[in-house]
Each structure stands twice: as C-alpha cells, then as structure tokens.
Structure 1
C-alpha cells in the first residue's frame, strides 16, 4: 500500500528511539531497533497502526499478534504485557498511536446515519488498514512538519480518522464502547472505579451494582471485555503500580506492597513473581541495568502522559 509506505517514511524521519510524544494531542510515534519485551502497562483506550515489524500482546488469556499494515484497537483500559518480535537497526519496528477520545466518537455517532453493526462482546479488534484510513494517518503525521497548522488541522484530521474507524471493521467495537448505556459503557464504569480504588478491598457484587448489571452478567461481560476476572484485573493494577514505584524509587518492598493494597508481603511476592517471572528485588535490579532494553522500559515507566506502549 502506497499510503503505508509513505507513512512509514514519515515516521522513520520523525521518531526517536522508543516512544516519541508528539506536539499533536493524543498522537505518539514508536521506533524500536531490536526485539524487546515491553513493560507491563495499563493501556488507555487507543488504536495503534504498525508500519514495520511485528508485535505480540498478551491480554489475560489472549495472545494477539499484529504486524505491518494492521491496526489494533482497544476500547477499554487494557492490562497487558507483550514483545516487539520483529525489529532491527536496518528495519526498525515503527508504529503510530492515537489515544481514543470517546467524547469525539460519541459526537460523530450523533451525526452519522444509524446503521446496523455486528455486536461483539470483546473490546479488542485487529484489522488491516485501508487506503483511505492510511491516507488520513499520513496527513496527521505530516502536520509535525507544520507546527503552525496543528491547532487547526489536527482536530479535523483526527475526526476523519475516527470517522473512518467507525465505518470500518472495527466500527462495532468503537460504537459499542461509545454508547452511554451500552454493555461496554457499563463495564467501563466498573473499570474506572477499579483504577481509582485499586488498593481497596472489593466485592464483586458492589462492582456489578456500579455497572448496573446482575452479578452473573457482570462477571461474564467483564471477562469477555478484558480477558480477566475483576479480581485478576485488580491484581494486575496493583502489581503494575508496584513495579512502577519500585523501578522509579527503589526501596522497601514491604512498604510498596502495603501501599498498593497487599496485607501480606509473602502473597505480594508470590503474585509478583507469577506475573513478572521473578521476585520483586531481582526483577527491579535487572530492570535498572544499563542495557538498551531496560533503559527503554524505564523510559516507558517514567512517561507521565499515560497510555500504552505502541
């Protein structure tokens, strides 16, 4: 596809190593020159288009691969781990990301004709990008060379990207996510509460009440959307927060465990090792070594913009 090829050249020229936060709101670029493990993160709702290379994500019990010309859409806060599986100095992994603005999506839906779309219980989608969408992405990235135009033109091009997403095969996922009273919106209420109160003890019935769903429907819907049970999701939130705190401010593991809601250091250590493959102290020592892969992960952990690694 000519659009993808042109977009690849633009991103190659603009992107520094690892994450490049651009002057365009919600738009980031990513460039990696060797295969690497990605830091575990809670990804904000986003779309990510790979231009070169390949990536693997593990979302709960789901393994997802996507590569050049394919776009990954996540319509909810997504706890995930992953790897850049294909990248080199000669042919680096390249991607562009747009963090989703659901207010803008809802506004578009009110102006678009009402059409049927395939219902889905999953909040994830992987699809090939078409020429029209690739062209819109290209015009967005080219605005980086014209900073004086970003304030006026970027919102217009973002609106076009969202419109074409809604018209494409991932449109059902986005439409359902943007509905105020739909299935995804109800689950998102519980996700927002969990992200705000992840250190607190929870009862699943209380979460179901927040979502406005029966207990059985909530439990099924939550796992279908996220690939995790509510308790597993909360555990991921706690452990990812602990990993970030330990990486940025190494210190007392017991204090960090308590800060994120664990009453037992033994249980924290067990859960941490199960998720990350080794106990906290060893994991963080390795993370802080000076090789390029770990520097990239520390950079991502220190990002204050939030959102995913592409």
Structure 2
C-alpha cells in the first residue's frame, strides 16, 4: 500500500512540474508535498488534520516538544496549533513525499455517534501525536488521492471517504486522543473556542478571564488545560500567532518589519525583532530575504 501511495504522489506532483513545494488539490483541505532535500523549518498554524509521510521523514516542533515521523507514519493534530516543521530526510533520488488532510470535525462527530461503545477520551495530552498509518487507513487515503483523477466525483464520494477515515481513526489504537476532536463539550473543543478568540484579533492583549469564560472554565483550570494541550501559556501561544502573521505579511509584501510589528500588536520594534529572531533564527529583514531567495539545487 505504501508503494501505491508513493506512485500516486509522484504522479500527481510530476503533473505539477515535479517542483518542490506544497500543492493544493481539487479535494478541499488536501495538500500534497514534495521536497528534494532537507530544508529550513517553516512555520504555520496546523488545523485539526491527518499529516502522512509516504517517503522520507519530517519533524514538527511544538514549543519545546519535537515529533519525528517517517514513512508509513502519520501526525494527527487535534486543535489549531502554531508549529515549526521541517523535512529531515530527502534527496533528489528519493524526495520527501507527504500529504496533509484537514479533518472534518462534523463528520468525525457523526461517526463517533454511531460507535457502540464510543471511544473514551484518554488523559490530557498535547494536541498532536504520531502513530502508524495502518493498511485500512492507508487504503482510504489512496482512494482519496485517486479522486484527483475525476474531480467531478469529489462532491459525491468525498463525504463517504472522510467517514471511512474517521472510522479508522476512532477505531484505532489512538482512539482516545482522536475522539477529543469530536467531543463538542470536551476540554479540547472548549480550549479550541478560546483559541478561536485569540486568532480573531491577535493584536488585542490576552485577557485570561475572557478566554476562560469562553471555554467555560475557571482561570486556573483553563490555564492548566491550555498548557497541557498546546505546551504553551495563552500569552506564548498568542506571541507565536503574532510572529507567524507578521512573517506572512512581510513575505506577501504587505508590510515592512515596523508596520508588520504594529499590525500584529507589538508596541516595541526592538522587542518584535528579538522575538522574531528567536523564533525564526534571523531578524525579520534577513529572514524574509532568505525565504524569498531561489532555492539552491539539492
């Protein structure tokens, strides 16, 4: 099955020219990735998703925690998280091949409602984990990929395939973690509501009382659950969101460093520059210049 996935990903990325990068597809929320060499970490906010490595290896950093996954393994993300990701094994002869699939929380809830008995949530942990893909789940992913050959079939067949993917995730060895995504009133979804508020206006100062109220928790309980799920305090989480958005603005040519800092809520340009360099490894101007420079051949 892994070989079939490799062949499919090579074919679909070759059809886009075979260049390194991430490719959106006709399937909403499905992205294909290819890299012919190791690269500097890239920062982004992960939504609830299934991230699969088909060839090569990748590392994701969440706060101080590192998660490595390789061929035949998947990273499952249960809540929106700002992370750094980098390809750690790839070459021109054996490029990194992977895919990210956004999970449909509504479909997961429908599937879990039909399970008897439904899985029980496990103890509080970080909002992502690595596990084996398994043959049944790999088969679903392969059939989802093959929908790209017939885009007109996507609206009809996509919901059923997502239900299958949801079933195997909820029936698998990590069901206790996956089910937290589907629990409408569980701590994971209550923290997700607070995260939504943080993302709506990242320039606004963090108010723990307001966030705790949105999560229907006491401030102390909210702080504990938030850090367990994200590995960060709300203030640290917001800082990463601000820096990611500032970088996006600069890369898009929509703001210089000073303007980007102001738009995301920084009052001190020097503080912004220090925290930016700490996260991305270089001051804003140098980092953006490097990110825009053409990649060297692998």
Q: Contact conserved, 2:38 with 2:89, CA < 8 A, in 1? A: yes
1:57 to 41, 55, 60: 60
Q: Which residue matches 1:133?
A: 137
Displacement after TM superposition at 1:174 (Å): 2.1
2: CA distance, partners of 1:12 / 1:169? 30
Partner residue in 2 for 1:100:
103
Report the Cα offset of residue 225 of structure 1: 0.6
TM-superposed CA distance for 1:146, in Å, is 2.5
TM-score by length of 1: 0.90
Residue pairs, 1:171-210, within 5 angstroms: 171-210=175-214
Aligned partner (choices 229, 236, 246) of residue 233 of structure 2:
229
Q: Return closer, same or farther for 1:252/1:48 CA change in 2, 3 Å cut-off.
A: closer
* RMSD over aligned Cα atoms: 1.5
* Structure 1 residue ranges (4+ consecutive) displaced by more than 6 angstroms after TM superposition: none
Partner of 1:7: 5
Q: 1:118 to 1:151 in 2, by over 3 A?
A: closer
1:177-220 Cα shifts (integer Å, max 9, x gaps) = 21111110111111110011211012222211211111221111
The gaps in structure 1 that reach 5 residues or longer are 294-310
Q: Which has the higher contact order (CA 8 A, sep 6+)?
A: 1
Mapping for residues 16-95 of structure 1, pairs under 5 Å: 16-17=18-19, 18-95=21-98
Match of 2:148 in 1: 144
Say if 1:205 and 1:54 are closer, same or farther in 2 by CA, change over 3 A: same
Within the alignment, does 1:160 sit opposite 2:158 as a pair?
Answer: no
* Structure 2: runs of 5+ lacking an equivalent: none
Task: Tell me if structure 1 keeps the 8 A contact 2:206–2:234.
Answer: no
Deviation at 1:232, TM superposition (A): 0.3
Written as runs of structure 1 = structure 2, the 5 A alignment for 1:206-217 is 206-217=210-221
Residue 297 of structure 1 aligns with which residue? none
List per-residue Cα deviations over 1:235-271 (Å, max 9, x = no partner): 0010000011111116532221111001111111111
Structure 1 contact 73–170 (Cα < 8 Å) conserved: no
Structure 1 position 127, deviation (Å)? 0.6
Contact 1:54-1:86 within 8 A present in 2 as well: yes
Distance of 1:292 and 1:229 partners within structure 2: 38
Q: Deviations over 1:154-190 (max 9, x none)?
A: 2211211111111112322221121111110111111
Deviates more, 1:8-17 or 1:51-60: 8-17
* Shift, 1:30, TM fit: 0.9
Preserved contact between residue 58 and residue 64 of structure 1 (Cα < 8 Å): yes
